Structure 1
Amino acid sequence: MNILRLAPLVAIALAACQPAATSQETAPLAGAKIGGPFTLTDQDGKRVSDTEFAGRYRIMYFGYTFCPDVCPTDAAAIGKGLAMIEQDDPSLAKRIVPVFVSVDPSRDTPAVLKSFVANFHPRMVGLTGTQAEIDAVAKSWAVFAGKGDAQPGGGYLVNHSRTTYLMDPAGKPLALLPSDKGPQAVADEIRRWAK
């Protein structure tokens, strides 16, 4: 892998290691060139653009439904973290939408995504598209994804970056969410930056 492709991800990861926010503190990803417009297909087969999430905080996660370990674990942490916020601050929780973007569009059809995201949160949106659409979104979000070697039985794994972004209501990046640290860490980091 080209080391230059990893540089933005390393910078983002280092920016996430910050102490608790104060009212004057700038979000770690403020001003980062992450994200952008997209139009993809949701779990109901409907074409959805980024503008449909305007005015809400977005949790953006990139993975695939056939992932044997990391993606379901992270999706569960995101869903449970959001459920914790729903208990403590329902008005804030209503302004947050969790989004799971597939990096494996050849297998992740809308029907497959619908079943997958329903396991983690009732408002989680699953998005897929053509390979070209997914490649364009992955590039604008600094996400790496590539099909791995074939597995016995004809399946394959997808090598991909493990990044969970918290975006503000205008679609600008705020921070990385530590979905690898579990639901409490996700909820804490959302509360830190979402107002």
Structure 2
Amino acid sequence: MKTIEIPVIGPTLKGNLSIPNEPKALVLFSHGSGSSRFSKRNNMVAEILNEHSMATLLTDLLSPEEDKIYENRFNIELLTERLVSITNYVEQLPELKNLPIAYFGASTGAASALKAAAHLQKKIHALVSRGGRPDLVYSDLKFVKAPTLLIVGSLDGVVVELNKQAFKFLKCEKNIEIINGATHLFEEPGKLQQVAEIATKWFEKYIINPKIHQNALQQ
């Protein structure tokens, strides 16, 4: 793993980039409010993706100064702009060039990932939302082309219903997985591991299998 600097309009952001031998894809992580590239949960998922030949980039979407302003953490427009800029930047890096790109979004970070995917269209090859808040971008969901997997915990209260509603709005290849006995942060034993395994299979299916990927994007 190495730390990289990513120039965007305004600040320079930092990201943790891990590239396994002969990577087959790049997964960008979009964190929830109050989280960062050091999120233990997202790093655990990233490690499993690395083991399956996927490069990962966990990056802060806000500078430390911006993060001090509480409202910025829920500014989906700003966070989406940052994620789009990061995506456009990293795809030009020599070590990542030509790798298919996917998103993994958590909580409110899933909203910015979905909105960015709607903007970037077929540039994003797959998307996974963990305990996401797709209700923050309901109007954008119909424009998402990337095969999208919504993962929620069965004990996550209203978030389960918000994801079920979002599932109806999505017009792309899609699925929803409800993890029995899991709460919002999937802190229960084995639940986050389950999330990582399901996400890995989704990415492998739609990124690494070219035929399935092309069929999905044609929808």
TM-score range, shorter chain: 0.3 to 0.5
* TM-score for the superposition, normalised by structure 2: 0.31
| Higher RCO (C-alpha 8 Å, min separation 6) | 1
More helix by percentage: 2
- TM-score (structure 1 length as normaliser): 0.34
